[in-house]
């Protein structure tokens, strides 16, 4: 299967490309820069928003995995809404040109303030520009796929732990602080419980979604269980041998984060089981 991966040079993209290659897929990896992408993939430097016919430009892929998104860790950046139409136009061109399946990386922030287990049917009420934009893209691309008889998978990502020298998560910031020999890290209360998933497992789940055409729609890529932020960060510090302590209460908890939410992982477990039985 020929799979086009956008945003392939990014925090998640580099790991997903490696996993797709391990699954023996034909990968076309594109981004503004391709310097960190596994060279076993076909690497193409491009601004996907400027391409008149991206389907032909990327040699008519079977699947497009759309990871491209900027400022994902800055939840109220104006770029989310500013870029939204560009993302839609690019994917809509692919859909109308002949691609067989569209897979897009979404976020649990589409759901907004919610307590409990998040399923594919949980109502969405996003509380940030990031969540609002991803939710709007999901609705519009799902409709375009339906109208053009194209398979649609929406990967809903949760909280990723690992590859911390890249990205801008709390784990990346702690890694950077430790490398600067800081002994204390300003922190929230840490009481909120989230669904944490290790980086390699997350990338593997995304890759497995791409090669499975039986399970469609919204697919939570997650661990399926909640853990407090404090517990996971303290464990992360120990796992990496960092000599740094958390300064609890230095920052307020974000008002749009629920006290406890986690993903229903039944669909991704089904995908992994089906793919394993096919191999």
Return the active site residues: 130
- Phi, psi at 55, each rounded to 5°: -60, -45
DSSP alpha helices (H): ranges in the chain? 13-22, 54-57, 79-97, 129-147, 170-179, 199-210, 229-240, 266-278
Task: Give CA–CA dist 5/247, Å, rounded.
Answer: 39
Task: Count the alpha carbons within 13 Å of 150 in the hemisphere toward its beta carbon.
Answer: 26
The gap from C-alpha 85 to its chain's centroid, in whole angstroms, comes to 19
| Whether 81 contacts 132, CB under 8 Å | yes
Pick left, alpha or beta for residue 59 (phi over 0 → left; psi -120 to 50 → alpha; otherwise beta): left
Query: Pairing state of beta strands 227-228 and 193-194?
Result: antiparallel
**First vs last Cα of the chain: how many Å apart?**
15
Of the candidates 237, 119, 225, 134, the one whose C-alpha atom is nearest the C-alpha of residue 177 is 237
| Whether 271 contacts 204, CB under 8 Å | no
Task: Give CA–CA dist 111/160, Å, rounded.
Answer: 17
Using alpha carbons only, how large is the chain's radius of gyration in Å?
19
Task: Count the alpha carbons within 13 Å of 212 in the hemisphere toward its beta carbon.
Answer: 27
């Amino acid at each position: 299967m020929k799979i086009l991966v956008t945003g392939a040079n990014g925090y998640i993209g580099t790991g997903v490309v490696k996993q797709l290659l391990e699954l023996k897929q034909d990968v076309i990896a594109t981004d503004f820069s391709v310097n960190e992408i596994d060279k076993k993939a076909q690497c193409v430097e491009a601004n996907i928003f400027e391409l008149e016919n991206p389907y032909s430009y990327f040699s008519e892929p079977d699947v497009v995995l759309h990871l491209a998104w900027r400022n994902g860790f800055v939840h109220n950046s104006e770029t989310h809404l500013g870029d939204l139409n560009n993302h839609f136009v690019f994917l809509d061109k692919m859909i109308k040109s002949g691609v067989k399946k569209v897979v897009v990386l979404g976020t649990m922030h589409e759901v907004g303030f919610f307590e409990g287990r998040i399923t594919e049917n949980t109502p969405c009420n996003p509380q940030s520009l990031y969540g609002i934009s991803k939710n709007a893209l999901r609705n519009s691309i799902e409709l375009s796929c339906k109208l053009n008889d194209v398979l649609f998978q929406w990967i809903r990502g949760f909280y990723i732990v690992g590859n911390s020298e890249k990205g801008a998560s709390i784990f990346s910031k702690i890694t950077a602080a430790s490398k600067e020999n800081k002994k204390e890290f300003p922190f929230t209360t840490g009481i909120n419980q989230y669904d944490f998933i290790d980086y390699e497992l997350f990338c593997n789940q995304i890759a497995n979604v791409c090669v499975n055409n039986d399970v469609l729609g919204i697919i939570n890529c997650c661990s399926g269980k909640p853990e407090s932020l404090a517990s996971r960060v303290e464990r992360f510090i120990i796992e990496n041998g960092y000599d740094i302590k958390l300064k609890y209460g230095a920052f307020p908890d974000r008002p749009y984060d629920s006290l406890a939410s986690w993903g229903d992982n039944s669909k991704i477990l089904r995908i992994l089981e089906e793919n394993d039985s096919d191999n």
